[in-house]
Chain A
Amino acid sequence: MFFCAQCNRACQVYADFSSSTCLVKPAMQKGKVELYTHAMVREVITNDQGLATGVVYIDKKDLNEYRIGAKVVVLAASACETARIMLNSKSKQHPDGLSNSSGVVGRYLHDSTGTDRMGILPELIDRPRYNEDGVGGLHVYSPWWLDNKKLDFPRGYHLEYWGGMGMPSYGFGFGMDTMRKYITDELGKPTANGGYGAGLKNDVRRIYGSTVGMSGRGESIPQYDNYCAIDPDTVDKYGIPVLKFHYKWTEHEVKQSKHMHDTFEEILTGMGAIILGTKPGPETQYGLAAPGRIIHEVGTTRMGDDPKTSVLNKYAQAHECKNVFVVDGGSFVSQADKNPTWTILALSWRTSEYIINQLKSQNI
């Protein structure tokens, strides 16, 4: 066994997927890619016809400014950052930012809805040990079992379940001051919360793997009024104007969160779990996480057929600057309840093929 579990910040031995390991490295091996790292792009530069001619970036190591010329510029800086680059790319031809005469760049920013609940399964206290890596955070396939016509909110959500005997990491063993009472003796008498000594040590062992939780992640309704825009008063350390955010959930998301909590309780109770914590109420929007917390931000450079209401066409090509493409979450018009990465990858693949075709037919 190695005492590792660094998976969240890219695996050192390349045992899991990350774009640098699985996409960039093979691309580099083909020898046709020049990779610039520590390069913070500030803006896309354009010519008199309004076409992109390259980008300006700040080298993070020497803090100097550089330019790279390009036939085609593909932005993939993540939804908000791409909007920031486009909004900062002002010129005579693009006075409101690159391809932004519609004013839609930065608009329709949306994140998944999210809220969680957990419980403890007395039946799982004192579990036999075996390898349960991978049980945490999984998307158990649970088909939607309710009649949508009876819901008081549009769209829907999925559940992600967690629990299991994962590798203990920082925080493991916390909370025995509230959790120890769930360990009962033969007569069903609860152990006193807190404590110390051999009994406490043993109870941490006994409780290992007995908690289970679930997270609801759902579809929110994109809103014109939820947006990021350039903050005229603030720059980052590279001198680049930063974004500020305006985002409010509507009653749709709040009702969805309420519904999620009813579902959590139903499932946890059905499993025989003792539900922990209290059910959040209207004062916290039913536990609905603040916009941005689920880190699935998309929608800021949405695609569409009408240049008045969208930034990109259906191939993620900028309506007003045909040699600029966006291959991150910015192009999403809406985001299904699912997490965005695979869709970003698929759309990016599709755009890549389109770019090749367009170059071949000399359209760009």
Chain B
Amino acid sequence: MDRRENIKVLLTGTVATGFLLSSGCKPDVDTTTTDTEIKGYGRVPQEILHDKKISSETFFSDKEKKMVTILVDIIIPKDEKSGSATEAGVPDFIEFMMKDYPKFQTPMRGGLMWLENFSLASYDKSFMDITHEQRIALIDQIAYPDTATVEMKNGVKFFNLIRNLTCTGFFTSEMGINDLGYVGNRPNQWNGVPDDVLKKFGLSYDQRTLDTCLKIEDQHKIAKWDAEGNLIG
């Protein structure tokens, strides 16, 4: 409803205050718009602003981004089933998370720095310049929380964080969801638990459930209502 219409309604249906009439109305902000660069979801204006703001900022330096890219592919490499974390866009996801959840910034930046210092102390070289084997030798000391030494505590914390973000970034991407074999989110389509699975656990559907909940032939039928809201088919 635009503002003019709104005033009209106010005046006809209601008692308008003098305050309203003397006030200069601000130009309309269309708060119903869902037009945003990030497609697929409805966003309120505040969210659109937030999305625009964080997509215009860059958190990681080039060096940090390269380090993150190396690390995420060590955490989730390409295998026979699917691609690597980088191929699924995980470094960009982590960049996004740094800005969307700023509490991650210091642990992430500090953790990368900690790892860089650890590399310098161990090899006298930047993490960027050491070999894959040398990187693995460092990571092995921080990747296993139950057996890592006390001195490695900060490294362990950092690696837990980047492992979490890598796993979640990968498995919530389209590539990761397909890799997992997630089969839900198919509108109007639910075929129940497959027979072989039921058999494996010694279970079966009773006839009533089959009759009322699992009528495959009804799956794409859309209910119809009359103007009074009565179900008519």
List the interface of chain A (C-beta within 8 A of B).
Answer: 1-6, 9-10, 12, 15, 26, 34-38, 53-54, 61-62, 64-70, 128-134, 165-178, 181, 192-198, 200-202, 204-205, 208
Contact = CB atoms under 8 A, between A and B. Distances in A.
A134 B190 CA distance: 10
B19 to A, nearest CB: 5
A128 B197 CA distance: 7
A12 B40 CA distance: 9
A64 B144 contact: no
Interface string B182-217: 111111011101101100000000000000000000
B144 A195 contact: yes
A168 B171 contact: yes
Contact of A64 (B19, B146, B170): B19
Nearest to A204: B167
Given A3-B40, A172-B168, A176-B163, 6 more contacts: A9-B42, A34-B9, A133-B184, A167-B182, A170-B168, A174-B164
Contacts of A65: 17, 19-20
B17 A192 contact: no
B139 interface: yes
A261 B179 CA distance: 36
Contacts of A38: 31
* Consensus secondary structure, chain B interface: loop
Report, nearest first, the 6 A-B pairs whose CB atoms are least far apart. A173-B167, A133-B184, A69-B15, A129-B181, A68-B14, A174-B164
A168 B189 contact: no
Given A128-B194, A133-B190, A165-B184, A66 B20 contact: yes
Contacts of A26: 229
Interface stretch (B57-65, B72-80, B109-117, B122-130): B72-80
A64 B174 contact: no
Contacts of B231: none
A3 B174 contact: yes
B13 A131 contact: no
A67 B17 contact: yes
A133 B171 CA distance: 17
A196 B177 contact: no
A172 B184 contact: no
A195 B19 contact: no
B75 to A, nearest CB: 5
Contact of A204 (B3, B171, B194): B171
Interface of B: 1, 3, 6, 9-10, 13-17, 19-20, 23, 25-26, 28-29, 31, 40-42, 74-77, 79, 139, 143-147, 156, 159-160, 163-164, 167-168, 170-172, 174, 176-177, 179-187, 189-191, 193-194, 196-197, 229
Nearest to A22: B229
A130 B23 contact: no
B172 A201 contact: no
Contacts of A62: 3, 23, 25-26
Nearest to B26: A62
Contact of A196 (B14, B139, B170): B139
B127 to A, nearest CB: 15
B15 A192 contact: no
B182 A165 contact: yes
Nearest to B187: A15
Q: With a 10 A CB-CB cut-off, give which of B40, B146, B186, B197 has the most chain A CB atoms.
A: B146
Contacts of B25: 62, 64
A68 B10 contact: yes
B185 A1 contact: yes
Contacts of A194: 143-146, 156, 159-160, 163
A126 to B, nearest CB: 12
Contacts of B229: 26
Contacts of B184: 1, 131-133, 165-167
28 contacts: A1-B184, A38-B31, A61-B29, A62-B25, A64-B19, A64-B25, A65-B17, A66-B16, A131-B191, A133-B184, A170-B172, A172-B167, A173-B167, A173-B170, A173-B171, A174-B168, A175-B164, A176-B164, A194-B143, A194-B144, A194-B163, A195-B143, A197-B75, A197-B77, A201-B76, A201-B170, A204-B171, A205-B179
